[in-house]
Amino acid sequence: MPKQLLQGNHAIALAAEAAGLKFFAGYPITPASEIIHELVNKRHIKVLQMEDEIASINAVIGASLAGLKAMTATSGPGFSLMQESIGLAHMMEVPLVIVNVQRVGPSTGMPTLPAQGDIIQCIHGSHGDYFPIVFYPNSVLELYTYTVMAFNAAEESLSPVILLSDGYISHLYETIYPHRDFNIKRRNQKPIGTSNRHFTGLSHEDSVIKTTDTENHRRFIRRLYEKQQLTARHYKFHEYLECSKETDALLISYGALSRIAYYFKDKYSLYRPIRMFPIVEEIKSIAPRYKRIIVMEMNAGQYVHEIERVLRREVEFVSVIGGRMDLQEIKEKIYG
Amino acid sequence: MDRDTNFKRYLKLELLPTPWCPGCGNGIVLKTVCQAFDEIDMPKNGTVVISGIGCAGRSAGFFDLDTVHTAHGRAIPVAEGIKYANESLNVVVLSGDGDLLSIGGNHLLHAIRRNTNITVVCYANETYGMTGGQVSPTTPYGTKTLTTPDGNKDTPADVQYFFKNRNCFFARTTAYHLNHMKKCIVEALKFNGFSFVEVRTMCIVNYGRRLGYKNSNEILLHYKEFYKVNDNTVELAQNEIGILKYTSSPDAEVIL
């Protein structure tokens, strides 16, 4: 395939096709709609526009059970609607990919502008304990690459994997080479309709419902946790740029905002998680080299608490509430 | 094998008894669905049963097939996802009126609009039995329940009208009329397009006894007295059960 000038959302669609996507269900929403626009023209991919995001995620669960690689794409408001069924997919161990192109919230907010307000919702949005794998690229090429990785991680962990983007990255045009040199993971589970399994959101063991067996449920949650940690080991994606000059500060940022962080590379060392969750362990060995840790994100403080929790030390925080990304304003905030 | 017990091959008998209360109508519907499966010799490989949440939502787990127990109200979209992903599967949804008509009502309307080739059997017992007996979409006007101590002020959903001018299948039947119920379900399973069977069934423990019924047999006798079979109509009266004749244009498209 030749080099192509691609929009972020188009790159997601192309990559999903390369990863073996066969079923897509979604509901129109800014700034994610271009993904369905692109996929609907692919003959061998079944695309459904459902009545809402709840129906979309559930149709995707059904299609995945039927053996197809399946995906949905949405933005914050739709992602909120999907939460209950994301928990269901973790409980039933159904592999699928959810793309969340973040926009400014809460509520309808500013639909066309980028934000990073859904970080904690990714891991705690549904009730109960579950341990999703979450990727957040910061360029069109990375959207392409990590969409494929998201499908692989989903197949490997038999769980829903979340690919975060934002209104900025997804609407960005960049020239990329959409190669297909990937190792694509195949489904290693029989499709529905071939056996006598019972897939249920109730606590269960081997297709048998166990609604009051606490020990069984604790074993189940433990197994989910270990399975996700094990899978995550194969997807340790992060970027660490050591400052060429002497510095005592590490600037942590991700997604759209991390592109502005590159401006500060002569003053600070930069760290960018790409696999947002489970948090990449490498940060634990990098952080002790710096006196100051600064987390910068487009919300009122979400990932910063996760970093604090992992590092067990005080972390400085620069908040750029979603919407405009202005270098001058960010400079003032960082330099104080 | 004796024809009468042949339907048991569709069940995981080792999981019995069901969690349902004595006198519950769900077991009758479950058995009749299996008998309907048996009558048309539904292949065990290639048939899936989906259900939602609630008493009726527990039905799917008893089938000796691949089955899915979805989130509350989401049985239909999951079933549609399965059907669109693999057209060769027979997809059957079993769930309650609260699940299908209330929390999942929007999905039902759109499944009718899409005319997805799946079969839905609705256990319409006029109440939310599992949560103690609250008012549900099929509770008659004026009925006292836990959440309507002064009587239900809303009119119940008459599902047949969702199907008006649609090229879909709709039937109403009751847990008393066993042969009629089996016939309705068989016809629904054979139908090429979206099919829906509303089964009026009883909840004695959390609903009927509060209305003065001494046991579920009294409710069944009420069905016997009240409902008349009318299989040749485009609109069912309140006291009629039957299969609706189509009212839509025959060229309406059936998907899959």
Taking a C-beta distance cutoff of 8 angstroms, is the pair B87, A72 a contact?
A: no
Domains defined for chain A, CATH in brackets: 4-232 (3.40.50.970), 238-335 (3.40.50.920)
CB contact under 8 A, B66 and A58: no
Model pLDDT, residue B158: 95
Model pLDDT, residue B252: 52
Q: Which CATH class is domain B20-243?
A: alpha beta
Best mutation target among A72, A200, A205, A206 (most B Cβ atoms within 10 Å) is A200
Question: CB of A81 within 8 Å of any CB in chain B?
Answer: no
Q: What is the pLDDT of residues A25-65, one digit of tens each?
A: 999 999 999 999 999 999 999 999 999 999 999 999 999 99
Q: What is the pLDDT of residues A86-138, one digit of tens each?
A: 999 999 999 999 999 999 999 999 999 999 999 999 999 999 999 999 999 99
Q: What is the pLDDT of residues A214-241, one digit of tens each?
A: 999 999 999 999 999 999 999 999 999 9
Q: What is the mean pLDDT of chain B?
A: 94
Best mutation target among B10, B12, B76, B82 (most A Cβ atoms within 10 Å) is B82
Distance set, CA A188 to CA A94, A181, A322, B122 (Å):
12, 21, 41, 34
Residue A99's DSSP bridge partners are A73, A163
Model pLDDT, residue A228: 97
Q: What is the pLDDT of residues B85-111, one digit of tens each?
A: 999 999 999 999 999 999 999 999 999
DSSP code of A332? H
> Sign of dihedral through CA atoms B126, B131, B133, B137?
negative
A21: phi then psi, degrees, rounded to nearest 5? -60, 130
Sequence letter at residue A40: V
Model pLDDT, residue B3: 60
Model pLDDT, residue B251: 52
Query: How far apart are the CA of A276 and the nearest CA of chain B, in angstroms?
Result: 27
Model pLDDT, residue B199: 98
pTM (whole model) above 0.90: yes
Model pLDDT, residue B165: 85
Report d(CA A168, CA A170) in Å as an integer.
Answer: 6
Report d(CA A282, CA A288) in Å as an integer.
Answer: 11
Nearest to A198 among B69, B72, B83 (CB): B69
Model pLDDT, residue B1: 45
Model pLDDT, residue B254: 53
Q: Which residues does chain A have within 8 Å of residue B60's beta carbon, measured at their own beta carbons?
A: 198
Q: Which residues does chain B have within 8 Å of residue A92's beta carbon, measured at their own beta carbons?
A: 68
Report percent pLDDT > 90 for chain A: 99
Global ipTM: 0.96
Question: CB of A54 within 8 Å of any CB in chain B?
Answer: yes
pLDDT at residue A150 tops 90: yes
Report d(CA B34, CA B38) in Å as an integer.
Answer: 6
Nearest CA in chain A to B91: A193
Q: Which two tokens stand for residue B230?
A: 């009318």
Q: Give pLDDT < 70 ranges for chain B.
A: 1-3, 247-256
Nearest to B70 among A51, A58, A196 (CB): A58
Nearest CA in chain B to A47: B84
Average pLDDT (A142-151) is 98
Report d(CA A153, CA A135) in Å as an integer.
Answer: 10
Q: Which two tokens stand for residue A59?
A: 């149709």
Model pLDDT, residue B245: 80
CB contact under 8 A, A46 and B64: no
Model pLDDT, residue B236: 95
Q: Which residues does chain A have within 8 Å of residue B89's beta carbon, measured at their own beta carbons?
A: 66, 192-193
CB contact under 8 A, B46 and A22: no
| Inter-chain contacts counted by CB atoms under 8 A, chains A and B | 130
Q: What is the mean pLDDT of chain A?
A: 97
Average pLDDT (A173-188) is 95
| Burial class of B249 by CB neighbour count within 10 A (0 to 12, 13 to 18, 19+) | exposed
Taking a C-beta distance cutoff of 8 angstroms, is the pair A126, A307 a contact?
A: no
Taking a C-beta distance cutoff of 8 angstroms, is the pair A74, A29 a contact?
A: yes
Model pLDDT, residue A50: 98
